[in-house]
Amino acid sequence: MSTEDSAFELTGRLVRPYVITGGREIPSEREFSVTTLITAADDAPDRWVISPESRSVLELCMGGYLSVVEIAGYLGLPLGIVRGLLAELAEKGMILTRAPVPSAERVPRQLLEDVLHGLRARFA
């Protein structure tokens, strides 16, 4: 490892979060829940015209859906920064999002258990 590599490694984490996001705030219509699922769009425009951090997010999401909190964990970035980067990528049409299922739309556990018991009684 060269001296330049070790110097970069030592200073790499010293970049302030507002520098990574370019000082932009997350637009209110682009709020990302920690459980929102993200994947790279198949027809994403040229990914080399974005910041290195956004490129890292995009490359990470090319393997399938990841939640916002997983992306933050893999990249070692604060959640707010990842949300800002995702907002930038969404504006450019480079990612697809899938909102989490609201708890009001989930099937009650008791109903599932009743169906399971009914199936067991009929086919067991």
Q: What is the pLDDT of residues 26-82, one digit of tens each?
A: 554 467 888 899 999 987 666 667 888 888 899 999 988 999 999 999 998 888 888
Query: What pLDDT does 77 receive?
Result: 87
Query: What pLDDT does 110 receive?
Result: 92
- pTM (2 d.p.): 0.64
Q: What is the 3-state secondary structure (H, E, C) of the chain?
A: CCHHHHHHHHHHHHCCHHHHCCCCCCCHHHCCCCCCEEEECCCCCCHHHCCHHHHHHHHHHCCCCEEHHHHHHHHCCCHHHHHHHHHHHHHCCCEEEECCCCHHHCCCHHHHHHHHHHHHHHHC
Query: What pLDDT does 79 receive?
Result: 87
Q: Is 3 within a domain?
A: no
Q: Is 1 within a domain?
A: no
Q: Are strands 37-40 and 66-67 parallel, antiparallel or unpaired?
A: antiparallel
Report how many domains make up the chain: 1
Domain that holds residue 17: 13-123
Q: Is 8 within a domain?
A: no
Residue 103 clears pLDDT 60, i.e. is over it: yes
Residue 112 tokens, joined: 């599932």
Q: Is 98 within a domain?
A: yes
Residue 91 — pLDDT band, cuts 50, 70, 90? confident
Q: Is 30 within a domain?
A: yes
Higher pLDDT, 18 or 112: 112
Q: Is 62 within a domain?
A: yes
Query: What pLDDT does 33 receive?
Result: 86
Query: What pLDDT does 38 receive?
Result: 94
Q: Is 69 within a domain?
A: yes
Q: Is 49 within a domain?
A: yes
In terms of average pLDDT, the best of 43-57, 83-97, 98-112 is: 83-97
Q: What is the mean pLDDT of the chain?
A: 79
Could you give the CA distance from residue 7 to residue 1 in angstroms, rounded to a whole number?
10
